[in-house]
Amino acid sequence: MRTLTLAIAGTLLLPACKKTSDGQMAVCLNEVAGNEAEEVRTQDVPPDVWFGVILKNYNARTKELQRPTKDCSNKGLEIEDEELALCVLDDNPAEELPPRPLDPEEDLLLTPGAEGGQALVWIRTEYFEDGYAKGPIALAEWTKRGIAVRALGPLYAHPNKIRMRMEPMDKGKVLVVESNVCEPETKKCRRVMRLLPLIGYRFEERPLVDAQTGDCLGPATFDLFKETEFELEDGHLRKFQLTRSFDFTDGNVSLTEHVKIEDFDPKNPEAPPDVFRNAHIERPMHLDNRGVATGEGLWERMLTEHGSVSIEQKKAAEEKAKAEAAEGGGGAGEEEDPEDDGDEG
């Protein structure tokens, strides 16, 4: 884990935005006429129109895109801030696949917005060996005269069973992206959530930072379920399971983490597991000039504290606690319930 302290500048400077007929600002505006007007009115816009609205230098005849990719505001996909890139990018990124013409079936994802007449539109222009993809994402709105892009930015995510939506965060909004990431060897999949705050008119990559120290905790990306296991010194297997859930009510964003630890006897697979620990914590999240700020997570701490404790050591500690409680009249040595540790935070 990187221990970089971040202080990121505020809203990126945008090219001059345009006002639509309703007086609102648009990052990009595409007015249509003739046969395209009916398609806009019915909100049945062909992929080539979306490609032309959101991408700069797209050739509808050849389906080719001039590289490097730039969106309609002339912004690229790469992170320009070196300190931010050091925090959120993988140390060993997957290789990018060779570029190809855009495919309307494969490269365009359109999700209707909660507000009528709006949609989230992601165009995947780059693909990688690990299955991830990258490209501009836009919050678009149908107007009387065409399509207005209200917000824009780069999105790097896995397209497998992806879902996108806008949620409130503090006094603003955040783009929430969920998708499945599967391991090629085991075929096991995990659900991953990614947060992209809307800063002004841009969806921006912001790091996850420690609320107290400002240290970088990596990208604002979260496994919603995770499990791993260790072999203990006495031969038992200890399984760790993590479940995460988010609450965005009224912009007060909170992440709840629950960790369950169970011990299994591989020599007796039919026997029920022993519950070693059951713990949960709530992590409020806020957006500030450093990034998405939150408290310490539960998963890494539980792995560190309990990843190598054997069952015999646990039983010995419990017996010692009982003995001390008996000698002292049951005061400070009261036995801890292993079924539920409550809030570990």
| pLDDT, position 294 | 96
Residue 290 has pLDDT above 70, yes or no: yes
On the question of pLDDT at 205 being above 60, the answer is yes
Residue of 345 and 58 predicted with greater confidence: 58
pLDDT of residue 37: 52
CB 48 within 8 A of CB 60: yes
Whether residue 275 lies inside any domain: the answer is yes
What's the pLDDT score for residue 345? 42
Q: Is residue 325 part of a domain?
A: yes
**Confidence at residue 142, expressed as pLDDT on a 0 to 100 scale:** 87
18 inside domain: no
Q: Is residue 255 part of a domain?
A: yes
Number of domains in the chain: 1
* 262 Cβ contact partners less than 8 Å away, ≥ 6 residues apart: 238, 239, 241, 273, 274, 275, 276
Does 62 reside within a domain? no
The per-residue pLDDT for range 34-60, each reduced to its tens digit, is 455 555 555 678 899 999 999 999 999
Stated pTM of the model: 0.81
Beta bridge partners of 119: 112, 140
Query: Measuring CA to CA, which residue among 267, 256, 18, 310 is closest to residue 147?
Result: 18
Residues found in the chain:
345
What mean pLDDT comes out for the span 91-115? 92
Query: Domain of 270?
Result: 224-345
Q: What pLDDT does residue 186 have?
A: 80
Q: Which of 70-79, 95-104, 245-254, 332-341 has the lowest mean pLDDT?
A: 332-341
User: Is the confidence at residue 223, as pLDDT, over 90?
Assistant: yes
Coarse DSSP helix, strand, coil percentages of the chain, rounded to the nearest 5 percent = 15, 40, 45
Which stretch of 28-37, 211-220, 243-252, 256-265 has the lowest confidence by average pLDDT? 28-37
Computed over every residue of the chain, the mean pLDDT equals: 84
Instruction: Let me know: does 169 contact 152? Beta carbons within 8 Å.
Output: no
More confident residue, 70 or 335: 70
Q: 331 pLDDT band (50/70/90 cuts)? A: very low
- State the pLDDT at residue 40: 57
Q: How confident is the model at residue 25 (pLDDT cuts 50, 70, 90)?
A: confident
The answer to whether residue 15 sits within a structural domain is: no
Q: Would the pLDDT of 315 be above 80?
A: no
Q: Is the pLDDT of residue 136 over 90?
A: yes
Per-residue pLDDT, 72: 95
In a domain, 58, yes or no: no
Please tell me the predicted confidence (pLDDT) of residue 62: 95
Q: Which residue has the higher pLDDT, 197 or 4?
A: 197
DSSP 3-state of 134: strand
Is the predicted pLDDT of residue 344 greater than 70, yes or no?
Answer: no
Percent with pLDDT over 70 in the chain: 79
Residue 316's pLDDT is 58
The pLDDT of residue 45 is 84
pLDDT computed for residue 134 by the predictor: 98
Closest CA to 220 of 150, 297, 302, 149: 297
Q: State the Cα–Cα distance between residues 123 and 334, nearest whole angstrom.
A: 59
- Write down the pLDDT at residue 258: 97
**Between 22 and 275, residue with greater pLDDT:** 275
Q: Is residue 193 part of a domain?
A: no
Question: Residue 144: is its pLDDT beyond 90?
Answer: no
